[in-house]
Each structure stands twice: as C-alpha cells, then as structure tokens.
Amino acid sequence: MSSKKILVTCADKYMGSAVVKKFKTLDYDVFADCQELVTQTQCEGLIQTVGDIDVLVLNLAEPPKTAPVQSIKNEDWHVLFKTLVDPLMFLVRAAVPQMLKRQSGKIIAITSAAPLKGIANNAAYCSARGAQNAFIKAVGIEMARSGIQVNAIAQNYINNDTYYPDQLLSDDKFLDHVRRNVPTNKVGLATETSELAAYLANENCNHMVGQVIPLAGGWIS
C-alpha cells in the first residue's frame, strides 16, 4: 500500500516547517511547496501538479497591518485578503473534486485565534483570518457527508519565525505581555501545532468536522 500524499503550502513560513517535519516521521509522501500563493492559476496549478492529495494543509501567512480602523489603508486590507483568503478558497476549490471522487480526504487550515477574541488596531488582520475560519466551518459542514474532514487550527502565541522570531521571544517587554495575557504564561511550541495537525489527518479522526480549534494557551478563554 502506497503512502498517503500530503501537500503543505507555504512550507517555509508560519507553521510549514514544523508540519513538514512531523509528517515526514509518519507514513506520508510529503510535498512541501514554498511558493507565494496568490493567484487562482498558481493554486490550481499546484493542485494539478501534486495530483491526488489525501491531506491538504493550508498554511498561509501574512504579517498584520496594524492601524486604528479609521486609518486602515485600502491596499493593506486587500493584501491581507489576497494572501490569506483568496488562495484558501482557490486551493480548496481545486482539491475537493478529487477528494469527492474518492469519498475521502483531510483539509486542515492553520489560521489564527485573533478573530476569536479581537485585537485592537488589527481589524484588517482579524477580518481576513476570521474569513478563513468562517470558510472552513462552512466547507467542513458541506463536506461532512462525503467522507472529507475539514477543520482549522486557530493558533496564537505559538513559536514560529514568521510571527514570533527569536528576537521577539527574547524581548522583556514581549515576555511581560505574555505573562499578563496568556494563562499558560508562555509561548507554545511549534510541535503542539504539528501534533494537532497530525491528529486531524489521522484516519481514525473522522468525527471532527467544521471545527475551528483554538490553540492559544487559554488566551481566548
């Protein structure tokens, strides 16, 4: 029996490296794609190139565009939706037909807990990540009867080079902020996300559908 095929997008950013590393230890044929996915053509071409995909990990990242709502720039709003929301839809739309044909598949989006709580001066980022979460919930319910499980890991305060580089993790001001706001009193490990992704991808995890699972050290509780 051949290994299951997994595609991890933007594998050199956000949680990509941790997820790739984890799945390489399991019985998966891992495709780690590092291109910047923006257009429909790119996304559809990637799905076509990889072929039949058993597990699609939608790992998309873009730095927040911090500004009070009255100062949000149109271009910043559009960039966040162009890099976080549009490719999510393009990739899922392209991958679902092959999964429907097989009546099996796993789609896992690594999103953010930010829209679950809201962050002042980050309305644009929270809106884009919130759109991701809403999309996954809707598609998860839509696919539930077809043997396809679609879920999201909504994380925050998890160690990764894109949002929490080493320089930030050694900053006393940031660490004080973590102590005041995160009940676990720390930044979580990237392996916590990759382990959760591995669980969601497991063939024995079939009753979890349309869920946006918080992984944020109790930050949104």
- Over the chain, what HEC string results? CCCEEEEECCCCCCCHHHHHHHHHCCCEEEEECCCCCCCHHHHHHHHHHHCCCCEEEEECCCCCCCCCHHHCCHHHHHHHHHHHHHHHHHHHHHHHHHHHHHCCEEEEEEEECHHHHCCCCCHHHHHHHHHHHHHHHHHHHHHHHHCEEEEEEEECCECCCCCCCHHHHCCHHHHHHHHHHCCCCCCECHHHHHHHHHHHHCCCCCCCCCCEEEECCCCCC
For residue 24, name the pLDDT band (cuts at 50, 70, 90): very high
Section 180-193 average pLDDT: 96
- What's residue 110's pLDDT? 98
- Cα separation of 102 and 99, whole Å? 5
* Stretch among 2-6, 103-107, 190-194 having the lowest mean pLDDT: 2-6
Fold for 4-160+188-215, please state it.
Answer: Rossmann fold (3.40.50)
Contact at 8 Å (CB) between 9 and 16?
Answer: yes
Is it the case that residue 128 has pLDDT exceeding 90?
yes
Section 6-31 average pLDDT: 97
- What's residue 1's pLDDT? 46
Section 99-122 average pLDDT: 97
pLDDT > 70 in the chain, percent? 99
Output the six-digit token pair for 20: 């790739």
- What's residue 221's pLDDT? 77
- Cα separation of 193 and 111, whole Å? 11
Compute CA distances 131 → 81, 82, 157, 174, 195, whole Å: 9, 12, 20, 28, 24
Is it the case that residue 18 has pLDDT exceeding 80?
yes
- Cα separation of 82 and 77, whole Å? 9
pTM listed for this prediction: 0.96
Section 30-56 average pLDDT: 97
- What's residue 2's pLDDT? 64
pLDDT tens for residues 57-86?
Answer: 999 999 999 999 999 999 999 999 999 999
Q: How distant is the alpha carbon of residue 151 from its chain centre?
A: 9
**Listed residue (159, 158, 150) closest to 132, CA to CA:** 150
Section 31-59 average pLDDT: 97
- What's residue 27's pLDDT? 85
